Amino acid sequence: MTTDRSGEGLAALASDLRTGERGPMRYIGTVRDRIDARDGDIRAWVDDGKSRAWLTAEADALTERYPEPTGSSSDEPTRPPLFGVPVGVKDIFHIDGLPTRAGSSLPADALAGPEATAVRRLRAAGALVAGKTHTTEFAYFAPGPTRNPHDLDHTPGGSSSGSAAAVANGTTPLALGTQTVGSVIRPAAFCGVVGFKPSYGRIPTDGVIPLSASVDHVGTFTRDVDGTALAASVLIDDWAGVPGAADDDAADTRPTLGVPVGPYRDQATEAGERAFRAALDSLERAGYDLVCVEAFPDIDEVNERHNDLVASEAALAHGEWYDAYPDRYADATAELIEEGRASPVSTLVRGRRGRSALRESLAAIATQAGIDAWVAPAAPGPAPAGTDDTGDPVMNLPWTHAGLPTVGLPAGTVDDLPVGVQVATGFGHDERLLAWASALADVVADAA
């Protein structure tokens, strides 16, 4: 594939826009040029994103509000952290002025709702919503039109396919997605970008069409870990800052990494396992301590419990819509809802209780083994061929079920397709995870 996927890291771009090294109106023009030139085959953006005139007017209004660059001697208000940064938003988030279709054929009026808190926080930080990005239907498995920027004949992953592909294709430096099983970390791996899923609940999900409220997470896609931390600082509740910013010793601390062994790892493909071992070799050479830990001996039970929970809660979330528009749901989504409706209440209770039980179990194992974080394959392998399936989220599922903060890092390529690793740590320790992630990303970047 010859598509030019060049694009800026979010952190450096945001700094340039705040300090006046770049002008937001000119950069918006660059973004629109890229979408026009690059998105015809990739199809990451719903309706091609906002028009040039619309975005230019928003950038102009933002500049009028914050006319002076950060660091000037003016008494004008300081430019906010994401001043002028264009953002892609998965089409299950409500955004004032844009319809929500959720990758479905249901009427937009039926799905309408107040703007998502995550979107409001981005706007308050100076970001410009460049448009909506494609999703699988209702963030489940029925694929959207998006293609993988690295090979059009391979899936970009799901369900946040458009967000991952837009960042990978250089048409936005930041995009929002969601993860209910593996819908941030997996497409990030398939598209070769950084994906971040925070601890459950640390980014509000109100204003986002739910799939399974007990395990839905809002997450981000960027090209750089520093950019991920910048976005997290705006989006996450009670953000405490990335440790080490003013403390070199803390910044240089290397975590001891737990490597799961057992049936969980057996779910990876041969190619995926080889790539993961290459990443582990790179980490060892860089001086990281790796501890092999028996984890998830009951992974089949965890997988079943999580999938049953998603089905039960999808049936609750979509009850009224499904009753009103049963013929407009894709077969896969309809089957999920019907499965959830047929499940006893005990299935729902079991799934919800299982989340905290798994979280506590992983914390106890980590303490006993003396590890600070877990490292695992971000997907079973590189993106599968074909676009009728979004790939298997099974490697992401237990971390999502436990609600642990997880970052997905590019780790080289297999047959010219990206692969990644995911790193997870204790619940609520998102800031520490992102402090470690920058150095980890540098080590594994070309592992495979």
Over residues 152-183, the pLDDT tens digits come to: 999 999 999 999 999 999 999 999 999 999 99
Single residue among 348, 367, 382 that ends a domain in this structure: 348
- Let me know if residue 4 belongs to a domain: no
Check whether residue 93 and residue 179 sit in a common domain.
yes
Establish if 123 belongs to a structural domain.
Answer: yes
Strand residues in 75-141 grouped as ranges (E): 86-90, 128-133
216 in the same domain as 344: no
Q: Which two tokens stand for residue 429?
A: 């320790």
Residue 72 pLDDT class (50, 70, 90 cuts): confident
Q: Which residue has the tokens 């729902």?
A: 348
Write out pLDDT tens, residues 211-240.
999 999 999 999 999 999 999 999 999 999
282 included as an active-site residue: no
Cβ proximity of 176 and 218 under 8 Å: yes
CATH code, 277: 3.90.1300.10
| Known catalytic residue at 233 | no
Q: Examine residue 281 and state whether it is found in any structural domain, yes or no.
A: yes
Domain with 401 in it? 10-298+349-444
The answer to whether residues 329 and 268 belong to one domain is no
Whether pLDDT at 27 is above 90 = yes
Res 249 pLDDT > 80 = no
**Is the pLDDT at 4 greater than 60, yes or no?**
no
Identify whether 89 is part of a domain. yes
Q: Are residue 102 and residue 129 in the same domain, yes or no?
A: yes
Is residue 431 assigned to a domain?
A: yes
Q: Is the same domain home to 153 and 136?
A: yes
Give the number of domains in the chain.
Answer: 2
Q: Is 5 part of a structural domain of the chain?
A: no
Which ranges constitute the DSSP H helices of 69-139?
108-111, 117-124
Edge-to-edge strand list for the sheet holding 217-222 = 128-133, 86-90, 174-179, 217-222, 194-197, 406-414, 417-425, 373-377, 257-261, 290-294
Residues 242 and 353 in one domain: yes
Both 321 and 409 in one domain: the answer is no
Same domain, 340 and 256: no
User: 68 with 46, same domain?
Assistant: yes
Closest among 415, 416, 432, 433 to 424, alpha carbons compared: 433
* High-pLDDT (> 90) share of the chain, %: 93
Which one of the listed residues 104, 160, 161, 183 is annotated catalytic? Answer: 183
Place of tokens 């971040």: 196
Is 337 found in the same domain as 221? no
214 and 314 both lie in a single domain? no
**Choosing from 90, 104, 214, 438, which is the catalytic residue?**
90
Q: Which two tokens stand for residue 295?
A: 């984890």
Q: Which of 404, 408, 394, 392 is nearest to 365 (CA)?
A: 404
**pLDDT value of position 246:** 45
- Is residue 370 domain-shared with residue 380, that is, in the same domain? yes
Copy the structure tokens of residue 12: 């450096």
With respect to residue 109, please indicate whether it lies within any of the assigned structural domains.
yes
Is position 1 within any domain?
no
- pLDDT at residue 252 in the model: 60
**Residue 387 above 70 pLDDT?**
yes
90 in active site:
yes
Which of 280, 314, 348 terminates a domain? The answer is 348
Q: Tell whether the model's pLDDT for residue 2 goes beyond 60.
A: no
Tokens of 257: 């990494």
| Residue tagged active-site, from 50, 132, 159, 163 | 159
